[in-house]
Amino acid sequence: MLKDPSLFREAALVGGDWIAAGEHGLVVTNPASGARLGRVPMLGAAETQAAIAAATAAQAEWARRTAKERSEILRRWYDLVRANADDLAHILTLEQGKPLVEAKGEVLYGASFIEWFAEEARRVYGDVIPAHAPDKRIVVVKQPIGVVAAITPWNFPNAMITRNAGPALAAGCAMVLKPAEQTPFSAIALAILAERAGLPSGLFSVITGDPPAIGGVMTASPAVRKLTFTGSTATGILLMRQSADTVKKLSLELGGNAPFIVFDDADLEAAVEGAIISKFRNNGQTCVCANRIYVQTAVYDAFAGKLAARIAALKVGDGLEADTTFGPLIDDAAVDKVSAHIADATAKGAQVTLGGKRHALGGTFFEPTVLTGVTQDMDVAREETFGPVAPLFRFDSVDEVVAMANDTEFGLASYFYTRDLARAWSVGERLEYGMVGINTGLISTAEAPFGGIKSSGLGREGSRYGIEEFIEIKYLCFGGI
C-alpha cells in the first residue's frame, strides 16, 4: 500500500545504527481494527546511553558547520518529507487512527517546521552592546545548547517531532528522541528520511522501548543539556523533577483545558465551524482542543442546535476510508475517560443532545457527543476530556465568562467569537492563556509561537522564538582595548 515500503521499518536508530525489533519487540497495533502493525525494539538505559554518547560526538562536528550547511540538509529533509507525504500519512493513520486527510495535513504541517527552521538557522544573530567602560567591548554570541532529549506523544506522531527536531538541528544541536509507544513508526520513517537527506550519523536517534528507563537516563545524563517534552502534565512534572539534579533547560508542552467562548454578537455559523474544528480535530485528542464551550444565553439554544446538526452529519469510521471525519480513540483508557466525563455530567444534571456512548462500530470508536446544561461543578470543567465531547456551558456577562474561563490550572489555548472590536481586544488581553484564537478555531502554524502558561508548560515552539529554546547566550567581554 505504501509507494515506498522501505519507509515502514521495524527498527530503532541508535547512534547511527539500526537495531531490529526481533521476537521480543513492542507490538504496535492499529486502533481502528486492533490489528497488529508490527514491532519495534524494546530498548532501555544502555541504548539511551549509547545514543547520547554518539549524539555528543556528532553534535560537536555539526555545531562547527556553517548555518547554511545545516540549513541545506534540513531543506533536503523537508523536501523528502513532502515528497513522501502520502506514505507518511498512511503510516500515521495506521498507527494513530486519525483520518487520512488529517494525517496528510499533519505531515505537511510537520514539514513546515523543518522548512521554517531551515530558514531560521541562518538568522541566529548575536548582539554588540555599548560597553560600560572605554577600554571594553561587549559582544553576545548564540551557541547551540548541545545534546537535546525529546519525548513526544501519540496524538501528533509526526509534527511534535519536527516542531522540536527542526529548531534543535537548525541551531546546531543533536537530538535523542523517544517517540510514544503507540506511534513509533512515524518517528522511524522521519529518521529514515533524515538519513537520506544527509543528516550526519549519530546526530538524530530514535529510541523505542521502556519509557521510564529511557526517560530516566535522558534526565540524569549531564551530557543532555535540554529536555523537550510534549505530553501529560503528570509526566511533565515527573520529568521536570528528574531534570532538577542536572539543571536542564526544559520545554514542556503539557495539558490544556481550552475555553471556547461564543458571545451573542458572534457570527454563529462561523462559531459553529470553529467549534467543530477546535473541538473535534483528531477526535478531540489535541491539547488545544476546546474543552469547555461557553455560549451566551441569547444564542445558546441556536448554537447548540446548529452544532449538533452539523456533527450528526459527519461520519465515524476507519481513518483510511475517504469520507471519515472521526476515527477511533487511541485506546480503552481514552474511552473510559470520555465515558466517565459524560456520566459525571449527566449525573449532575447535564443533558446528552447527541451521541453519548460507544459507537456501534465497536473497539474504541465513540459517538461524537454534545452535552447541554453543563456547569462548573462537573469534571469536564476541570479536566481535559481528550475525546469527542462538546460540553456547552451557559453564561450572561463578559466578566462572568472571563472568570470561568480562567478558573483552571491550565493556560494553553483559548478561543472566542465576537464582532465587537473593543471586546476582542479586552477579552484577548484578559484570558490567561499562551494562545488566543479570535474568530478562529485553528491557531497552530510554524510562524507563530505555540505554548502555554501555568500548568500547561514552559517555552514556545515554532516562530522566531522557537529556536531560542535550543540556544545558549554567551557574553564575551573584551578588555584592554
Please give the residue ranges that form the binding site for ligand ADP (CB under 6 A): 151-153, 178, 180-181, 211-212, 215, 231-232, 235, 238
- Residue 266 CB, shortest distance to ligand ADP, in Å, is 32
Q: Which residues contact 211 (CB under 8 A, 6 or more apart)?
A: 151, 178, 181
Nearer to ligand ADP, 180 or 316 (CB): 180
Nearer to ligand ADP, 184 or 355 (CB): 184
How many Å apart are CA 302 and CA 470, to the nearest integer? Answer: 47
Q: Report the interhelical angle of 159-171 vs 67-83 (nearest 10°).
A: 160
How many Å apart are CA 304 and CA 391, to the nearest integer? Answer: 10
- Residue 218 CB, shortest distance to ligand ADP, in Å, is 7
How many Å apart are CA 356 and CA 348, to the nearest integer? Answer: 15
Nearer to ligand ADP, 189 or 370 (CB): 189
Nearer to ligand ADP, 37 or 270 (CB): 37
Q: Which residues contact 413 (CB under 8 A, 6 or more apart)?
A: 256, 258, 287, 288, 433, 434, 435, 436, 437, 443, 452
Q: Which amino acid is at 347?
A: A
- Residue 281 CB, shortest distance to ligand ADP, in Å, is 16
Nearer to ligand ADP, 212 or 349 (CB): 212
User: 115, 120, 253, 469: which is the annotated catalytic residue?
Assistant: 253
Nearer to ligand ADP, 32 or 334 (CB): 334
How many Å apart are CA 15 and CA 185, to the nearest integer? Answer: 18
344: its cell numbers: 459525571
Nearer to ligand ADP, 178 or 225 (CB): 178
- Residue 22 CB, shortest distance to ligand ADP, in Å, is 20
363: its cell numbers: 473497539
φ/ψ region of 472 (left if φ > 0, alpha if ψ in -120 to 50, else beta) reads beta
- Residue 481 CB, shortest distance to ligand ADP, in Å, is 50
How many Å apart are CA 14 and CA 208, to the nearest integer? Answer: 10
- Residue 177 CB, shortest distance to ligand ADP, in Å, is 9
CA angle 167, 168, 173 (to 5 degrees): 145
231: its cell numbers: 505530553
Q: b/e per residue, 74-95, with b = 16+ CB within 10 A?
A: bbbbbbbbeebbebbbbbbbbb
- Residue 251 CB, shortest distance to ligand ADP, in Å, is 14
Element (H, E) at 29: strand 26-29
How many Å apart are CA 114 and CA 149, to the nearest integer? Answer: 18
Nearer to ligand ADP, 182 or 369 (CB): 182
Q: Report the interhelical angle of 100-120 vs 159-171 (nearest 10°).
A: 10
253 is catalytic: yes
Q: If you write DSSP's letter for every residue of 200-212 in order, what string do you get?
A: PTTSEEE--B-HH
- Residue 233 CB, shortest distance to ligand ADP, in Å, is 8
Count, residues in the chain: 481
Residue, CB closest to ligand ADP? 215
Q: Which residues contact 385 (CB under 8 A, 6 or more apart)?
A: 284, 291, 337, 338, 341, 391
Catalytic residues: 253
